[in-house]
Structure formats: C-alpha cells, structure tokens
Amino acid sequence: MSMNEIATLISISLMYASPLIYGALSGVISETNGVVNIGIEGMMTIGAFAGAVGAYFTGNAWLGFLIAGIGGMLLAIFHAVATVHFRADHVVSGIAINLLGPGFALFFTKMLFDGAANTLPLQAAQKIPKWFSDVFAQDSFLDRIFDQYATVYIAFILAVLLWIVLYRTKLGLRMRSVGEHPKAADTLGVQVNRTKFLGVLASGFVAGLGGASLSMAIISSFRPTLVSGQGFIALAAMIFGRWTPHGAVAGCLLFGLAQGLVIFLGGGRLPVSEQLLSMIPYLITLFVLLFSKSSAGPKANGVNYVKE
C-alpha cells in the first residue's frame, strides 16, 4: 500500500467517523445525566433533514447547520418530557423517537419538495466548507488527510469541550452526580430533573449536528436512508468508550476505519462481494457490544428520579 493510499484511507475514515462522533457525544451527554437515549438515530435523521432544508432555503451553510441542531433539540423535547416529566421507560421513549424522526422528516420533505422523498441537492456555497483545502500542496500526503469538511474538525473540538465541561467544571460535576447519585445531588441543592431535561435537549442538539454532517457535507441532500443505523453504531461506540468523550471518539474512529476499509477495499480490490464488505461496520458493532457487556455506565442511568 502506497503512502497516498494510506492517506486516502485515513481521510475516508475521518470523514465517516465524524457523524458517529456527534452521535456518540450526544449519548454521553444524555446518559451522563441519567437518561438513556437510544433515540439518537431519529434525532440525527431530523437534523439531517433540517440542515439540508435550512441551507437550501437560506443559502447559508452555517445557518443550516444551526437549524439542524435546533431540529434535533426539538425532537429531543419529546424524549425529555416523556422520560423526565412523565417518567416513561427510557427505551420505549427512544424507540418512539426513532420512529417519529424519520416520519417527520419524510412528511415535511414531501410537503416542501412536491412529493419527492429527497430534498434537492445543495449547491457548493450551501454546503459545509473545507477549512484546509488550499493549505497543503495538492494531492500531497497531508492534503489528502486534511482536505476535510469543517464538520470533521468541529466534531473533535466538541469532544474536547465536552471533556472539559464534564471533568473540569462545576456544571460537569453536577451532571455526573445526577447520573450517579441523584438523591445525593438533590440534597446538595442540584435541581435533578431540570439538569436531566436540559441534558436531553443538549444531546438532541448535538445529534442534529451529526445528521447535518451527513446531509450538508458527505452527501449534498437529505434522503430517508441517509442515517441508516449510524445512530446505533454511535451508541455502540459510546459503550465501547465507557461513557466518556475521549473513549467515545476512539470507538468512533474504529468504526470510521471499518467504513473506510469497506470503501477502500471495494471496487474490485478484493475478490469479495461488496455486499459482504458493507457488513463489516455492523459486525464490528456486534463484536464491540459482545465484549463490552461488562462495561457499566452511570449508576442511575435509566432510573427515573422521584423527589421525596
């Protein structure tokens, strides 16, 4: 394998890891606060739709990116109300979110685009830009690696910021205490349910950004099959990373590499069916979950808190 081929593989892996990083960080935020969020898939889907539509009608990529986060957050309100206010089962609520997200996205796509299931393609000015496309010599090793959409770099920046918030601030201490010992946090004056509620909303916002990193960067439009399981792979990466931002990023890079290998090895490089190669990320997901079954998240994760 040549150096240019290695650089191409790294580039593809980073590109496909970035949506997973948003999804995994979304899970870390929610579950650190004690709310299980398997609805990341639905939140990413509505974010992908909102981002593509927002950028298309406003003509501004960054405004569309913000709208994507807001779209994910609006859907997360349903999950927050169900789990925090009505104390519904977190898994059941998450399943409902995964049904509502694609349903809303498809309904509004058909309404806005004359019955079409896909949004119209974004023009170059409406897509997320590439920050370092002209920094290095064209087609050089570094150019192939760093010629990425801005969403890739934002994903890593968010991971660093989340780590700082969780482990170096009072807010992070409160979030972790709510997920570990909500009763003790309550006795110390922490408003447990409000912290949980806001955590779910923040989780939805980040998941929405992850959806937009697909529809506004990797692909130039929204389509119903765009996310197709990446929210669940992101959850597996979060579990693999033991509910920490840095561990989740490491898991996402692993899955991104798997997707990169699928693309890199496809097209006749190996005498193997492309359908079989496309199974690699999902097989790795099952493998990771199998060997991460002993991993324990926050002690009160998924437990509804009732103030005495």
Average pLDDT taken over every residue of the chain: 90
Q: In this predicted model, what pLDDT tens digit does every residue of 145-161 receive, in sequence order? A: 898 999 999 999 999 99
Q: Domain 3-291: which topology?
A: ABC transporter involved in vitamin B12 uptake, BtuC (1.10.3470)
* Percent of the chain whose pLDDT exceeds 70: 95
Q: In this predicted model, what pLDDT tens digit does every residue of 117-138 receive, in sequence order? A: 999 999 988 999 998 877 787 8
DSSP state of 130: B
Nearest to 148 by CA among 206, 217, 208: 217
Between 178 and 283, residue with greater pLDDT: 178
| Distance separating alpha carbons of residues 104 and 139, to the nearest angstrom | 41
3-state DSSP assignment of residue 33: coil
Residues 67/51, Cβ–Cβ less than 8 Å: yes
Place of tokens 């103030």: 307
Residue 85's contacts (CB-CB under 8 Å, 6 or more residues apart) are 193, 197
Beta bridge partners of 149: 130
**What is the pLDDT confidence band of residue 1, given thresholds at 50, 70 and 90?**
low
Q: Helix 90-112 to helix 61-80 angle, to the nearest 10 degrees?
A: 140
* Percent of the chain whose pLDDT exceeds 90: 67
Any idea where the domains of the chain sit in the sequence?
Answer: 3-291
* Average confidence (pLDDT) over 34-63: 96
pLDDT at residue 277, as a whole number: 72
Q: In this predicted model, what pLDDT tens digit does every residue of 65-91 receive, in sequence order? A: 999 999 999 999 999 999 999 999 999
pLDDT at residue 192, as a whole number: 95
